[in-house]
Amino acid sequence: MKRLPKPVPMKEGEAYLFSDGKLYRVGLLNACRARLDPLWRKRRVIVDRLHEKRVEILSTPQSVNISATTCLIPAKY
């Protein structure tokens, strides 16, 4: 069984595992908050009711805002 490394303080531009188990990159880090940008995509269905078409696309979900003092597990382990 592989052990996960200890959580470390965040650095801007680095990738980390968030609590949902997915990868995020720290896009903004200042004294009060950190913005985590997802490095994964989500399948989204777009429905055109006029022409009765359904199209599936891959889209990037919204970023997540967390406390700047949060320690996360680095993605490189």
pLDDT tens track for 58-71: 999 999 999 999 99
Q: What is the DSSP letter of 70?
A: -
* 33 DSSP β-pair partners: 67
Residue 25 predicted with pLDDT over 90 = yes
What does the domain layout of the chain look like in residue ranges? 9-74
pLDDT tens track for 26-53: 999 999 999 999 999 999 999 999 999 9
Q: What is the pTM of this model?
A: 0.81
